[in-house]
Amino acid sequence: MPKQVDYDSRRRQIAEAVCLLADEHGPEGVSMRDVAARAQVSLGAVQRCFRTKEEMLLFAVEHVGERVRARLSADVSLEQAVGEIALLRDEHRTEARIWLAFVAQAAVREPLARPLRTSYAALHDLLVRLAAGSGLADPVGAARALLALADGLTTHVVIGHLTAQRAAEVLRTHVAGLGK
Q: What is the DSSP letter of 159?
A: T
- Domain extent listing, the chain: 7-178
Model confidence at 70: pLDDT above 90: no
Model confidence at 6: pLDDT above 90: no
**How do residues 102-130 score in pLDDT, each as one tens digit?**
999 999 999 889 989 999 999 999 999 99
Mean pLDDT of 20-28: 91
Q: Is the dihedral of CA 71, 73, 79, 81 positive or negative?
A: positive
Mean pLDDT of 3-23: 90
What fold is seen in the domain 7-178?
Tetracycline Repressor; domain 2 (1.10.357)
pTM across the whole model: 0.86
Q: How far is residue 165 CA from its own chain's centroid?
A: 20
Mean pLDDT rounded to a whole number for the chain: 92
